[in-house]
Structure 1
Amino acid sequence: MKIRFWGTRGSIPVALTAVDIRDKLAQALVQASGRTFDTYEQAHAYASSELDFSLTHTFGGHTPCVELEAGDDEYYVCDMGSGARPFGVHVLAKQARKPATVNVFMSHVHWDHIMGFPFFGPAYVPGTKIRIHGCHDVVEQAFRLQQAAPFFPVDFSQLAANIEFVKLVPDQPNKVGSFTVIPHLQLHSGDSYGFRFEKDGKSVIYSTDSEHKLENRAEAEGFANFFRNADIVIFDAMYALAEAISVKADWGHSSNIVGVELCQMARAKHLVLFHHEPANDDATLESLLKEARRFEELTRSDHVLKVSASYDGLEIQL
């Protein structure tokens, strides 16, 4: 199984500006002061081994879209944020003009999670099958509404693909292609649902747009059970802990530190921070990752939890 991250931001897409690029270049040059590089390869090796991720990379700016590759002939993807556009390009290239079967799992239908679908290339290819799975009654309405006039020039009814909406029942296992999929209700405005994907003894949790209040022990234990022994937990860590419990309490999102605590309770193997705050630049996101890793080290018992931060283009092989 492979996981590909096509979009990892929350709320609204963002992009690097000219100021951001100049700042990264200036910091890299300062850190390289006194060094000389005779070839591109030498400079590349230095940047890869000695500079921070936030200087040599970007966490990206697309809103949520995460692919799970099962090794079969179908596609599986969580949410249709703006990352659905490059995901669609990938599908079309891989299919080489052959129609695809795409299984979509919707956490909820807020705009940042559906906005990429009108730009999802396979939806315009005759013979393509798209099954959109979700627990909300309004999933189909939301998809149709965002493409209705005057919001978009191509009405949903004009899409060439065969599109089916599939209603899922929370906490009930569903067999979808190669996966067993279990949805779970989460605390968020209008409700959202996390998904547990199981296949060949491996399990992946996709849990975004969820606020966790650890003082509610029953709620915390419920999520720990949902995350139990997962190989990967993709987790809404939009805020730092101080933000999550003060000015942004009840905003429907969680923090890097709470992600560590829940995954430790669940004895999950790998926490991946996700749904990044659009106002946070790459350096800030890297600092939140370092903070989470340090907290995991300080609170570790007999179980080691790997902690990563998602970025557009990240691939994880299970």
Structure 2
Amino acid sequence: MLVRFWGTRGSLPVAARAATIERKVARALVAAGGRTFADEDEALAYIAAESDFAAARTYGGATTCVEIEGGDGSFVICDMGSGLRELGVDAFARCAAGKPREFHFFLSHLHWDHIMGFPFFGPAFDPNARIVIHAGHADAEEALRRQQEEISFPVPFDGLRAAIEFRTLVPDHTYEIGGLKVRTIPQYHSHTSYAYRFEDGDKAVCFSTDAEHRVDDMDNERLFEAFFRDADLCICDTMYSLAESVTMKADWGHSSNIVAVDLCQAAGARRLALFHHEPTYSDEDIERMHRETIRFEELNRGERPKLEVLCAYDGLEVAL
């Protein structure tokens, strides 16, 4: 399996301001200490080897969209955030090279940051494409149609040319979709959110965003530990710090890096991807959370196997 991250922010898309890029360039020049480079490739190699991620790169600003390669070769896509537009551009090239024009979407929920990319998804205008939208919500079609009503968008949903169908999934049932085994469970979030587990042979990926884990509901924690059990990668909502998630942002429907580590360690998962980054966080803020999470994992591990902690960014690929 191969997991591609096309959008990793939560709530709304963000773009780097000019001043942010200027600071990154200035820091890179200072760090180089007068060193010269023969060409751009040599300079890029230096940046990759010598600099912190936040110093010369960015975690990106597109909202939630994750692609999972595996199964029968169909496109398997979690959520339709603004990152979906770029995925659609890339999909045209891969379909031209022979990849099937079949797209299976799995929606965590229907809030705008998780569906706003669909009106800009190029393959939806392809009459030779087939799109199946899977959700735990029976009103998924209503939500997607509503965001393309004339008052909000110039192209109506019925103007799309792909063959589009909607399927409502039932929690705790195992489905065979796109050559993968798929299960879903509900999560605490406004209008309910759903986590997904995808299995391809002996590999498993869990996608769990917009999920609040409450300290007074241990039954729910045990449910998620079982759902994450032995997963090769868990993509988890880590929008807030633990302090934020249990105080001023309690009941906002999101979780923390600390809770994600606890759940993944208890489940015996192999990798955790920090995900759904707070839109007000800078690259430095996200990188700091990543470092702190790695340290917490080390202190909290005990005799358990190491949990590798990744920090998702737009463009990250994880091979399993």
Answer yes or no: same fold by TM over 0.5: yes
In the comparison of the two structures, how many residue pairs are matched?
Answer: 317
User: For residue 163 of structure 2, what is the aligned residue in structure 1?
Assistant: 162
Measure, in 1, the Cα distance between the counterparts of 2:258 and 2:229. 18
State the 1:97 CA deviation.
Answer: 8.5
The corresponding residue for 1:211 is 212
Relative to structure 1, the CA distance from residue 38 to residue 81 in structure 2 (aligned partners, 3 Å threshold; closer, same or farther) is: closer
* TM-score where L is the length of structure 1: 0.97
**Matched residues in 1 for 2:239 and 2:222: separation?**
21
Note the alpha carbon deviations across 1:150-193, whole angstroms, 9 max, x for none: 11111001110000001100111111021110011000011000
Task: Mark the CA change 1:87 to 1:285 in structure 2 (over 3 Å): closer, same or farther.
Answer: same
Whole-angstrom CA distance in 2 between matches of 1:244 and 1:102? 35
Corresponding residue of 1:36: 35
Letter in 1 for 2:73: D
Look up the match of 2:102.
Answer: 101
Structure 1 unaligned residues grouped into runs of 5+: none
1:250 pairs with 2:251? yes
Alignment of 1:1-318 (within 5 A): 1-33=1-33, 35-40=34-39, 41-70=41-70, 72-96=72-96, 100-302=101-303, 303-318=305-320
Q: Name the CA distance, whole Å, in 1 between partners of 2:125 and 2:282.
A: 35
Query: For the residues of structure 2 that align with 1:209 and 1:42, how far apart are their CA atoms?
Result: 40
Among all aligned residue pairs of Structure 1 and Structure 2, give the percentage whose two residues are the same amino acid. Answer: 50
Q: Which amino acid aligns with 1:247?
A: M
Secondary structure of the residue that 1:204 maps to in structure 2?
strand
Q: Please, what is the CA RMSD of the aligned residues?
A: 1.3
Deviations 1:178-232 (A, max 9, x none): 1110011000011000000011111100000001123422111111111111000
Quick one: structure 1 residues 27 and 257, their matched pair in 2 at CA, closer, same or farther if it must change by over 3 Å?
same
Q: Which amino acid aligns with 2:312?
A: S
C-alpha distance in structure 2 between counterparts of 1:7 and 1:69, whole Å:
16
Query: What's the CA shift string for 1:79-110, capped at 9, x where partnerless?
Result: 00101100111111111187711000000000
- CA deviation after TM superposition for structure 1 residue 38, in Å: 4.1
CA distance in 2, matches of 1:222, 1:158: 41
Question: 1:56: how far off?
Answer: 1.8
Q: TM-score, normalised by structure 2?
A: 0.96
Deviations 1:96-128 (A, max 9, x none): 187711000000000000000000000001121
